[in-house]
Amino acid sequence: MGTRRRRPRVHELAPLLRPKPIVWSSRRRRLDSALTIADLRTVARRRTPRSVFDYTDGAAEGEISLRRARETFDGLTFHPSVLRDVGVVDTSTTILGARSELPFSFAPTGFTRMMQHEGEPAVARVAERAGIPYALSTMGTTSIEEVAAAAPGGRRWFQLYVWKDRSAGEALMRRAAAAGYDALVLTVDVPVAGARLRDVRNGFSLPPALTAKTVLDAAMHPNWWVDLLTTEPLEFASLTSWDGPVAELLNSLFDPTMTLDDLAWVRSAWDGPLIIKGVQTVADAQRVVDAGADAIVLSNHGGRQLDRAPVPLRILPEVRAALGDEAEILLDTGVMSGADIVAALALGADSVMVGRAYLYGLMAGGEEGVQRAVDILGSEVRRTMALLGVGSVAELTPQHVTL
């Protein structure tokens, strides 16, 4: 006997005919349609000049280090524990002795106002609202003091490269301390600039040079160029102006002769927590902790320095076993989802740094885009923890993940 048909009643059709609320903001529509960081990357690529997008997205030489890092995250296996009470999932943790509402921080990134004109202040405000730390780069395009004013209640860290001119580095550390920055991130994996071939091929420089290629690109991305030309000139906020390739700038400024003994110089100028970023071996992790580091960042600079460098996630368990509780371990490189963050925490990281993820959000939609990136990562962290059967960050263990 066939299904009996009838004429639908009007009141039954009403729930099916409800129109979706109209979203008048094109930016809001773009961001609402982005469900993952990869979606934000797609929007960012569409809205940003190629040389700028490639500077953010790219890595060194064949980009093998970055690809391997992402493949490692993609290839891991989670092991959920079922029938656990996850009615409440607490994503907060302690980073350098203070509470962070989410188990990640915003990594330092240079040239942020070039990627989108709202720049570092927008990132700092989102970090403040989210209750997570934000590290301002030496190569930032907003001053130490302006970022502090933009997010006066936020946790601010200052990232320092080792300069040939030590007095300039000392001056920056004094300014950061006076402005209320509570930790110093010393990056040690840039004795010379990595070979970032996308940048070379694109003729990338700061400020962007007007060539036939950039004029054509301007026609494809008029909003970006209008924002660039109608806001404050794009320049470094913590050093003298520069006009030329970025690699030449790095090689002219940074000191390739620094050794472990020079950490004493940093300690003499900075008495707050010290984070050493760019550690890539177990031996170096132990050496810098023995020399007085409060925390390390297992990082190969997002794949932007030495190609074929170790994948931070792969060496994490061994580093944790070697250090025990001597120092906090942060991790970056290849992090594109909340699940990636959870995996790193389970394998021994105290917290994770994200860089490209929030920059894709910034390029996609300014401050709102950075907020969207945080919302995506936060919801993914919470959902992954619940599906693993853990109610707090402290419950994550290596038993939850295999590489």
C-alpha 23/C-alpha 15 separation (Å) is 20
Q: Length of the chain in residues, anyone?
A: 403
Contact 391/86 with Cβ under 8 angstroms?
yes
Looking at this protein, which amino acid is placed at residue 349? A
Helices 50-57/37-47 angle, 10° precision:
150
Tell me the C-alpha distance between 259 and 201, whole Å: 33
| Planar angle of CA 396, 398, 403, nearest 5 degrees | 125
- Rounded CA gap, 316 and 331, in Å? 8
Cβ partners under 8 Å of residue 22, min gap 6: none
DSSP 116-169: STTHHHHHHHHHHHHT--EEEPTT-SS-HHHHHHHSTTS-EEEEEE-BS-HHHH
**Cα atoms in the Cβ-side hemisphere of radius 13 Å centred on 286:** 10
326 token code pair = 């001597």
CA-closest candidate to residue 188, choices 291, 316, 327, 103: 291
Catalytic residue, chosen from 117, 221, 301, 400, is: 301
Residue partners of 292: CB distance under 8 A and separation at least 6: 263, 267, 274
Neighbours of 356 (CB within 10 A): 25
Is residue 183 a contact partner of residue 133, using CB atoms and an 8 Å limit?
yes
Which residues are paired to 248 by β-bridges? none
HSE-up of residue 400 (Cα within 13 Å, Cβ side): 25
Whether 301 is a known active-site residue: answer yes
CA proximity to 168, closest of 269, 271, 267, 272: 269
> DSSP string covering 172-237, please?
HHHHHHHTT--EEEEE-S-SS----HHHHHHT-EESPP--HHHHHHHHH-HHHHHHHHTSS----S
- Could you tell me which of 348, 325, 342 has the C-alpha nearest to residue 392? 342
As annotated, the active-site residues are 301
